[in-house]
Structure 1
């Protein structure tokens, strides 16, 4: 969400001790610095993101789950509310974070042989489909230029993801770029989660400033 690695934003674990978000803020701050009128919305059900990371959001709602078993329902609520906002309002950027896949992986295992994990993935796939349907239902959809970016912050092995830099199952995550100005072929170069904000900023016409020291690059666009 910041476009930089932990050596810059300072967060190395879920305690968020040492965070440097004043220097390396959520990418919404970069948008607002050049286009203050661009409206931004953030939906998330993992409390630490809502508490520590989200900033410069014109609309944001933390659907905070009190326990892991709540996340399936919270994901569903995010899909419903975000799709309504997309269909009815004019927001330039919407971030939707669905937390139940992570919860299912930690609870039962990050593996395709685990029914609970697969069920969570299938549910999120349906939620994303609902958001896309909302985009396509907009009155001016044919005259708009939407970019959809999908990723995850980590994979997993067993029920965890420690030492991820050395474990392929943990290091590997999905990375999907979809839109009118996307190159229609598999991404051949190495991609990283820090590329998501940079790609979004480029699509929005934001001029990347050297002093931001972003680590990401633009991926998949013509």
Structure 2
């Protein structure tokens, strides 16, 4: 599903030389030790070396909905109340996502989300964790690309989401965005984290990240926009595949911060998942 939008009638913060443009890239279920294997990740290890790299330890249960909710809102599991992917009994409407928080801080902010997992962005799904904000969609200030990778497969869903983000970044742009890929997690569940298929999925999403990096470089070089890319994952996998428990492999997460300008934050060797949204907003606005 693609939610259409109209062109905004006001200048964006970036056009006014205001807050820093942000692109968050979510790579579900991606183990860093597998990314850095020879002949697997190319772009991701380079960005980690050129930018800033931090580790995160996810709360238990290490399941996607609770994990992404904490990463994208800054709320703990106890606060947002999400305990599994069903979203039953959650309080997530009380905790706006980072894109919504950016909009509420400056109501000219243009936001963009593209995700193939319905829980994240589809208003007809079980969430969405990223608030739909229908009024901002109508005003041309929010764009939602929702695909169903559970039904149609994540290889194609991820590619479509990245294609829409690519078109937006090469066109009218946005000020804060989130693009999500689930191919790696899907491969982990089916084949295991040590499999060739898991490595192949990492190569595919690594290529998607490369596309988005080139798009951000284009905006930096063409429009002098000082973009910051944040790339992260919500959990790992046990070797045989699967997650949800408290093993180090399942709780392991990581964050890359990279910018074509070289202007990257210093977040230390490790941060808490609930710290990421406040840190991103601080980078965007220059203050907490």
Q: TM above 0.5, one fold? A: yes
Segment drifting more, 58-67 vs 190-199 = 190-199
Per-residue Cα deviation, 1:187-218 (whole angstroms, up to 9, x for no partner): 6432233333222211221754xxxxxxxxxx
2:182 matched residue in structure 1: 99
Q: In the aligned structure 1, how far is the partner of 2:210 from the partner of 2:275?
A: 23
Alpha-carbon distance in 1 for matches of 2:179, 2:166: 10
Q: Is the 8 A contact 1:31 1:206 kept in 2?
A: no
Give the match for residue 211 of structure 1: none
User: Are the structure 2 counterparts of residues 192 and 141 from structure 1 closer, same or farther at C-alpha, using a change threshold of 3 Å?
Assistant: farther
Aligned to 2:119: 48
Equivalent position SS for 1:61: strand
Preserved CA contact (<8 Å) 2:154 2:186: yes
Structure 1: gaps spanning 5 or more residues: 209-222
Q: Which residue of 2 aligns with 1:109?
A: 192
Q: TM-score, normalised by structure 2?
A: 0.65
Q: Describe the SS at the equivalent of 2:229.
A: strand
Please give the alpha-carbon distance, in whole angstroms, between the structure 2 residues aligned to 1:22 and 1:136: 34
- Please name the residue that 1:60 is paired with: 144
The structure 1 segments of at least 4 consecutive aligned residues displaced by more than 3 Å after TM superposition are 139-142
Q: Matched residues in 1 for 2:222 and 2:279: separation?
A: 21
Q: Greater strand percent: which structure?
A: 2
CA distance in 2, matches of 1:120, 1:89: 30
Q: Which runs of 5+ in 2 are unaligned?
A: 1-71
Structure 1 residue matching 2:258: 3-state secondary structure: strand
TM-score computed with the length of structure 1 as normaliser: 0.83
- Determine the C-alpha separation between the residues in 2 that align with 1:176 and 1:45: 22
Task: Measure how far apart 1:107 and its partner are.
Answer: 0.8
Q: Secondary structure at the match of 2:184?
A: helix
Q: Does 1:182 align with 2:253?
A: no
Task: Indicate if the aligned counterparts of 1:34 and 1:206 stay in contact, CA closer than 8 A.
Answer: no
Q: Which of 241, 249, 253 is 1:173 aligned to? A: 253
Q: Relative contact order (alpha carbons < 8 A, sep ≥ 6): 1 or 2 greater?
A: 2
Q: How does 1:153-164 map to 2 (within 5 A)?
A: 153-157=234-238, 158-164=240-246
